[in-house]
Amino acid sequence: MSESIFLDIKVPNETGYLRLLGKIGEYLAQSLESYPGDREELAYHINLVLTEAMANAIRHTVDSKPGETLHVTLHVKNRKLTIKVYDQGRGFTFCDLPEPPPSCLAEHGRGIFIIKTLMDRVSYRKYDNGHVLEMEKILY
C-alpha cells in the first residue's frame, strides 16, 4: 500500500455535519485501492467511528463553548489510518467506560465501545485547551 493521504477538516460542532464527516471517511476508505480487505465494510466502519467520535466531541464541547468548530484529521500512511478528533470541552472518563453486557438496556454508552471494537488502537488525552481522541486502524 503506497497511499499517503492527509485530510485536515474543520466543521461546526453541530450534529447536522455528522453525515458530511462520515461520508468523507467513507469516501476515503473506498479510495484505498490497495487495501486487501473488504473496502465497503471498512468504509462503513470509518463512517461509524467518525460519527461516534464527532457526536461524542459535540456532547462534551457544546456544554462548555457553543459555537466552536470541531477539528478532525485523517491520515493514511505506512498502511495505517490515523484519525484524530479534537474537542475543546471538559472531556470524559475514557478508561472507566465498560463494555455493555449482552442484554444491556442502557440508552447511552455504546459509542466508545463501538470505536474500541472497530479500531486497532484508541487513546484519549489532554491536548492544548481540550482533548484529542486518537484512533488507529491497520490497513492490511
Partner 1 sequence: MLTTIESRNAITLIQIQEERLDAHNSSDLKGQMLTLFEEGKNNMIVDLQGVRFVDSSGLGALVSGFKNASARNGNLKLCGLQPQVESMFELTRLHRVFEIFPDLAQALNSFQE
Contact positions toward partner 1, by CB under 8 A? 15-16, 18-19, 22, 44, 47-48, 51-52, 55, 58, 100-111, 113-114, 117
> Angle at which helices 39-61 and 18-30 pack, to 10 degrees?
150
Distance spanning both ends of the chain, measured CA to CA: 8
Residues 26, 46: Cα–Cα separation, whole Å: 6
Give the shortest CB-140-to-partner 1 separation in angstroms.
Answer: 22
Burial 65-94 (b: 16+ CB within 10 A, else e): eeebebbbbbbbeebebbbbbbbbbebbee
Give the shortest CB-48-to-partner 1 separation in angstroms.
Answer: 6
Comparing CB distances to partner 1, the nearer of 95 and 106 is 106
Comparing CB distances to partner 1, the nearer of 79 and 92 is 92
Give the shortest CB-26-to-partner 1 separation in angstroms.
Answer: 9
Give the shortest CB-77-to-partner 1 separation in angstroms.
Answer: 27
Comparing CB distances to partner 1, the nearer of 73 and 100 is 100
